[in-house]
Structure 1
């Protein structure tokens, strides 16, 4: 069940990225990042009120448990820096590579207090397919902008670290309050960036009326962080990374098909290869678990 939820979380992320992209086109990256965090804070407060749940319960948690949202701001900045310097497909591929490597390190070492999951032979099959898919998605542009390449790779690492930290905090205060803290801690950083770049930005007009749907990205972000808070302790980081990526790729395919912009490009074929690898990986693990008898979910 958690594997299916991981896939659906990736699908949710694809829709969220589309909505956030539309907002960014209208008001700019830094303003959009701040608005998205503000929308996330307000929605999580409202959801907490509906659930009669304290949005910020007392917790004797280490200070670094509250850094998930701050690290998340770096993700947006790094993607923005790389955009235009290397292709979008390469940005996605390098981000996935960073996520994959960070996921394997956390799974095998138990870093950040995560459940330690020994490396399995079946994981190697999924890993080979994953690297092959990434190889298909990379192109010559990665040879021309070394800093952008490293920042895109770092984005993948930051995603895994951020969701792991958020999950540790959520274990103590709950998935919804954990999502609230993620957006709340990222909010001042995002607004500080708006102030620092204000002189270089043209005046913006904030969408309203029928265009107000562009503010829903923050709402979906709250749901996505909540789902990751639930999923991270329950399945391996590697499976979570790859399944959510596959969900993003195929949802993106249907979105592009709907708006008439689909092209069977490197992202699609690379995603298809990765999907085949993870399906084979999960199939082998299921077969092995049937032979071994009941065992804890991985």
Structure 2
């Protein structure tokens, strides 16, 4: 079930990147970032209120983990810029390749307090297939 959920989330990411890129076309890159994050905040705050979630849970969180918000802004901004010149499918294909490489490095070395999961040679086949697909998308 989790694998189907991950596929669904991937579909939502495609829609999100499309909407974010179109919004940036209408409003500009920086205003689009503000709108995107304010809308997200305006949706999550009422949910937290209804569920009676408290912000006291942030005590003891390592300070570097708060950089995820800045990474999110950079990611959305980069997607918006790439979307205009590459389109949705090529942008997300390259994002997927970058995510795959970074996640393998994180797993292999156990970075950011993650459990070590050594890289297995059989994963190279997947990387090669994805790379061939991306090269094909570039050419055609």
Same-fold status (TM-score > 0.5): yes
Cα distance per residue 1:64-113 (max 9 Å; x no partner) = 110101012122333455566x6336544433332221111012111111
Residue 60 of structure 1 aligns to a residue whose secondary structure is coil
Q: Which residue of 2 aligns with 1:23?
A: 23
Q: In structure 2, how many angstroms separate the alpha carbons of the residues matched to 1:59 and 1:13?
A: 30
More helix by share: 2
Which residue pairs with 1:87 in the alignment? Answer: 86
Correspondence for 2:118: 118
Contact 2:107 2:116 in 1 (8 A): yes
Please state how far the C-alpha of 1:122 moved relative to its aligned partner: 3.7
Residue deviations 1:12-51, cap 9 Å, x none? 1122223323432332221111011011112111111111
- Checking the alignment, whether the CA contact within 8 Å between 2:108 and 2:117 is kept in structure 1 is yes
Alpha-carbon distance between aligned partners in 1 of 2:115 and 2:45, rounded to the nearest angstrom: 30
Provide the residue aligned with 2:128 in structure 1. Answer: 128
Partner in structure 2 of residue 40 of structure 1: 40
3-state SS of the aligned residue for 2:115? coil
TM-score, normalization by structure 1: 0.42
Q: Counterpart in 2 of 1:98?
A: 98
Higher RCO (CA-CA < 8 Å; seq separation 6+): 1
TM-score, length basis structure 2: 0.81
Q: For structure 1, which runs of at least 5 residues remain unmatched after alignment?
A: 140-265, 267-298
Residues 81, 4 of structure 1: alpha-carbon distance in 2 compared, 3 angstrom cutoff: closer
